[in-house]
Amino acid sequence: MCGIIGYVGENQAAPILLEGLSSLEYRGYDSAGIAVFSDNKINIQKAGGRLSVLNQKTDNGKAVTGTVGIGHTRWATHGKPSDTNSHPHLSKSGRFAVVHNGIIENYIPLKNKLIEKGFEFVSETDTEVIAHLFEYYYKTDIVEAAIKVIGHVKGSYALGVLCSDYPDRFIAVRKASPMIVGLGENENYIASDVTAILSHTRKVYYLEDDEVVVLKKDSVKIYNIDKDEVKKQAFTVDWDVSAAEKGGYEHFMMKEMEEEPTAFMNTISPRIKNGRIVLDDISLTEEYIKNINKIFIIACGSAYHVGMVGKYLIEKTCRIPVEAVLASEFRYCDPIVTPNDLCIIISQSGETADTLAALKEAKALGAKTLSIVNVVGSSIANLSDDCIYTWAGPEIAVATTKAYSTQLAVMYLINIYFAEKLGTITPEQYSSLVAELQKVPDMIAGILAQKDKMQYCASKFYNCHSIFFIGRNIDYAVALEGSLKLKEISYIHSEAYAAGELKHGTISLIENGTLVIALATGKMLYDKTLSNVKEVKARGAVVLGVTTADMPDKEDLGDYLIELPDVNEMFLPSLTVVPLQLFSYYVASLKGCDIDKPRNLAKSVTVE
């Protein structure tokens, strides 16, 4: 999705803006641009394609002088990727330059109105409406103009705005699209994502919807919709700068897979004290947990796949009905949610538009909401009744690995915590689960240490046109994630199927040499999945089996076999997924794909 950075200070703005934009590249984009005050004029430079084109055009920013500016990477929604459609957009007279993340839903009537008033549009974007609206409502006060503009637009926006009448400042506004203010010494920033400013400052303000902020080099003033000044508490971001750098790895994805054991441990260890799970972060009492009628787990993409794992786990361990729902479906399916239902919302970024909207819907229906979020201070974290943070640190690769891993970790904590309160596990089972949970990071590290096995498997199959993943129960939930990972970064067609369901249609796609990755880690269902493996082998499939080292008859499972350490079945998803992540990585690498920035995808999807 689009990225925003803004700078005001004593240094040259353009190189800082370009550096910030480069750390936002991972969000996904197809053009980039900057606007800087140079000699009391707004100098705009933009270019379609990769940021390197803009860097070249501006001599890495050196050709654009000035100490106040805004920058943007655009992920096209309204209008194709092109120089004209890239941001910043200028108002009619050139007085205002605007960068925008999000979507202005009522831009057509606004555009028609502005055309009637004599404004001309040069781009196909919804954003240009904002630039002209600023000019239309502006008298002498940019904050008042901003309040007027936000009173007329519908949709989501994070805006950075320069006005040529005030070359010592710029303003920013947000609604349902992420934006933070970074506070420095004689310099201040805005950014859509903390990673863009992490090398300059860790002190930040989180903006609320429809707050207008005016940034000068030595002051930051925030106003509400009534133009009253708002005082805010600054937060210190404790993410390590090096966590957002490649640190010698060829790709962020590999670095982040290697970080999985630490991220997992960082997520569970502060919440286990003297062998007991302590969830200080949440206000759910034992009485509340005992009265939960149903749990909804709501999320998108990989986070939804964690929800699927959660469904199988919580139903089995806690005996509470659980429905895992895609956020984009939940919001429009008129869900039957009652005040005795708990809605668990999962999101790495905490900003995914559909997930945020689903959270609002769940709250409106009276349910209690508990979020599992990675980005501190994000909209979903702020809005939910309770939030358990995953401590994965910044995740840069579009394809999630360590954040997924930490979301599973939180799911295990919740499951064991609830089960103990409900009395569905014995005190002995509780202690043994807590003890075993703490061994999972080392087991993940052990699998990562044998990554050459997956590199070898990838070398055998990277030319495949289609790859199927099968599994039952929790293995099916992990199969969904394995298949998504492969599709995302290697562009190989792939499907994940509940192993028993394949024969109801999809088996017709199996032919000589088709790769089927069979996950069979659960002891109860091993024989059932083995039968499904036999069915596909009889039709010519080559099978890569994933199972545990202690599984009897494991050799029958596949032509190639990946063995996982033996652990309580509850925690197996954390192990099963690792070879699948590695397999996708190596397949994509052998195919020469852009692993960290796969085509058409965005890390944080802030539009519907």
Catalytic residue list: 2, 603
> Phi then psi for 161, rounded to 5 degrees?
-135, 130
CB of 350 to ligand G6P, least distance (A): 7
For residues 128 and 94, give the distance between their C-alpha atoms in angstroms, rounded to a whole number: 12
Considering the complex, state which of residue 143 and residue 601 has its C-beta at the smaller distance from ligand G6P: 601
Window of 42-50, 77-85, 211-219, 297-305 that interacts with ligand G6P by CB under 6 A: 297-305
> Phi then psi for 213, rounded to 5 degrees?
-115, 135
**Concatenated DSSP letters for 134-202?**
HHHH-SS-HHHHHHHHHHH--EEEEEEEEETT-TTEEEEEEESS--EEEE-SS-EEEESSGGGTTTT--
- Count of residues interacting with ligand G6P (CB under 6 A): 15
For residues 268 and 143, give the distance between their C-alpha atoms in angstroms, rounded to a whole number: 45
Q: Site residues for ligand G6P, window 16-55 (CB under 6 A)?
A: none
DSSP state of 383: H
For residues 237 and 466, give the distance between their C-alpha atoms in angstroms, rounded to a whole number: 43
Window of 130-138, 206-214, 248-256, 598-606 that interacts with ligand G6P by CB under 6 A: 598-606
The answer to whether the bond into 394 is cis (omega within 30° of 0) is: no
Q: Does 300 bind ligand G6P (CB under 6 A)?
A: yes
The residues, ordered by sequence, that sit 6+ positions from 25 with a Cβ below 8 Å of its Cβ are 3, 51, 73, 597
Q: Does 355 bind ligand G6P (CB under 6 A)?
A: yes
Considering the complex, state which of residue 167 and residue 573 has its C-beta at the smaller distance from ligand G6P: 573
Contact with ligand G6P (CB under 6 A): which of 103, 159, 289, 303?
A: 303
Contact with ligand G6P (CB under 6 A): which of 23, 45, 584, 604?
A: 604
How many Cβ atoms from other residues are within 10 Å of residue 332's Cβ? 11
Contact with ligand G6P (CB under 6 A): which of 73, 101, 352, 547?
A: 352
CB of 151 to ligand G6P, least distance (A): 29
Window of 190-198, 462-470, 544-552, 599-607 that interacts with ligand G6P by CB under 6 A: 599-607
Q: Site residues for ligand G6P, window 447-486 (CB under 6 A)?
A: none
Considering the complex, state which of residue 55 and residue 374 has its C-beta at the smaller distance from ligand G6P: 374
Contact with ligand G6P (CB under 6 A): which of 23, 38, 348, 369?
A: 348
Q: Does 362 bind ligand G6P (CB under 6 A)?
A: no
For residues 340 and 357, give the distance between their C-alpha atoms in angstroms, rounded to a whole number: 20
Considering the complex, state which of residue 38 and residue 349 has its C-beta at the smaller distance from ligand G6P: 349
Distances (CA, A) of 16 to 5, 182, 487, 530: 9, 13, 35, 57
Considering the complex, state which of residue 277 and residue 372 has its C-beta at the smaller distance from ligand G6P: 372
Kind of pairing between the strands at 515-519 and 466-471 = parallel
Q: Does 378 bind ligand G6P (CB under 6 A)?
A: no
Considering the complex, state which of residue 125 and residue 355 has its C-beta at the smaller distance from ligand G6P: 355
Distances (CA, A) of 477 to 309, 325, 332: 6, 13, 24
For residues 420 and 400, give the distance between their C-alpha atoms in angstroms, rounded to a whole number: 31
Considering the complex, state which of residue 347 and residue 494 has its C-beta at the smaller distance from ligand G6P: 347
CB of 605 to ligand G6P, least distance (A): 5
CB of 606 to ligand G6P, least distance (A): 9
Contact with ligand G6P (CB under 6 A): which of 20, 48, 61, 301?
A: 301
Q: Does 384 bind ligand G6P (CB under 6 A)?
A: no
Which neighbouring-strand residues pair with 215?
170, 220
Q: Site residues for ligand G6P, window 388-417 (CB under 6 A)?
A: 398, 400
Window of 213-221, 247-255, 342-350, 443-451 that interacts with ligand G6P by CB under 6 A: 342-350
Considering the complex, state which of residue 354 and residue 535 has its C-beta at the smaller distance from ligand G6P: 354
**Concatenated DSSP letters for 402-469?**
HHHHHHHHHHHHHHHHHHHHHT-S-HHHHHHHHHHHTTHHHHHHHHHHTHHHHHHHHHHHTT-SEEEE
What the block records as the tokens of 88 is 């910043």
Say if CB 575 and CB 444 are below 8 A apart. Answer: yes
Residues within the interface to ligand G6P (CB under 6 A): 300-303, 347-349, 352, 355, 398, 400, 601, 603-605
